[in-house]
Amino acid sequence: MTRKLLYWEGSSKKDFKKFPIDVQKDMGVALFVVQLGGTPDSAKPWKGLGPGVYEMVGDHRGDTFRAAYTVRIGDAVHVLHAFQKKSKAGISTPQPDVELIAKRLRLVLARYAANGRNP
C-alpha cells in the first residue's frame, strides 16, 4: 500500500503543534489513515469548497480543535489549516478561518497548475 505524501500549508503545522498532545496524537493517526487512502471517523466533508476537502474535529476538555485538509490535488494530502474553534455560540466555523482555508486551497491549486505536480 502506497502512502500519500503529507504537505502542511502556511502555518498549519506550527498551529497543529499548539494543540494538546492527546489531540495531536489522535489527529496524527487520523491523518495517517488519510495518507493510506482511508477516511477516519473524525473526518467529515467541508462544505462550500467542493469534493475532496474535509475537516477533522478533536475535542479536549471542552475545547474543540479542527484541521482542514484536501485529498483532491495530485497524490497527496494537503493540510490547509489547523485551528482551535474559539466561538462558543453556534456550531459554524468563524469566517476568518473559512476564508483562510479557501485561500490556501486556491494557492495549492495554483501551485499544482503551475508545476503540473505537487510542490
Summarize pLDDT for 54-71 with one digit per residue, the tens. 999 999 998 999 999 999
- Residue 50 — pLDDT band, cuts 50, 70, 90? confident
The H-assigned helical ranges of the chain are 12-16, 21-35, 95-115
How would you class 51 by CB atoms within 10 Å of its CB: exposed for 0-12, middle for 13-18, buried for 19 or more? Answer: exposed
pTM: 0.91
Which residues does 65 contact at the CB level (< 8 Å), separation at least 6? 19, 20, 23, 27, 57, 58, 59, 82, 83, 84, 85
Does domain 5-115 bear CATH number 3.30.2310.20?
yes
pLDDT at 75 over 90: no
- Residue 118 — pLDDT band, cuts 50, 70, 90? low
For the chain, the domains span 5-115
pLDDT at 87 over 70: no
